[in-house]
Amino acid sequence: EVQLAESGGGSVQPGGSLRLSCVASGYTDMSYCLAWFRQGPGQEREGVAAVDSDGTSSYADSVKGRFTISLDNAKNTLYLQMNDLRPEDTAKYYCAADIGFAPLGRLVGLPGMLAAREYASWGQGTQVTVSS
């Protein structure tokens, strides 16, 4: 079973930066995809960015060019570097993992990597608030 624990959230002014971290365990023995999702008040959970064991990454259009997902396998840690933050980025951010027999990008393509239904394991989330 994959265990996930996020950290790094906080409050920041528009235009600022934050880096989220997710310590993950139990994912390296098989093909995997690790992702960040977010859910704002009264909104559905949406995929932000994902990276699979092929090294394929996928980003939501709303964050392309501002957010970067990366994975340090030596530290079992997934990161989300968020730059040029906007008030609409305010949400609770969740780390998620899919473990399978093939990297998710090969199976469902880039848009599919950002679909919540593909992920069975979830962290508890960390709050990000962007306001002046």
Per residue in 61-95, pLDDT tens? 999 999 999 999 899 999 999 999 999 999 999 99
Q: Are 49 and 63 in contact (CB under 8 A)?
A: yes
Residue 50, strand partner residues: 35, 58
Q: What is the pLDDT of residue 61?
A: 97
Give mean pLDDT, residues 26-48: 91
DSSP state of 65: T
Ramachandran class of 10: left when φ > 0, alpha when ψ lies in -120 to 50, beta otherwise = left
pLDDT recorded at residue 3 = 93
Query: How far apart are alpha carbons 63 and 27 in whole angstroms?
Result: 26
pLDDT score at 96: 97
Q: What is the pLDDT of residues 10-33, one digit of tens each?
A: 999 999 999 999 999 887 778 899
Q: Does the CA dihedral 97-44-111-22 come out positive or negative?
A: negative
- Count CB neighbours of 69 within 10 A: 20
For residue range 100-112, what is the model confidence (pLDDT) as tens digits? 888 888 889 999 9
Query: Which pLDDT score, from 0 to 100, does residue 22 have?
Result: 97
For residue 28, give both structure tokens: 């390296």
Q: What pLDDT was estimated at residue 26?
A: 81
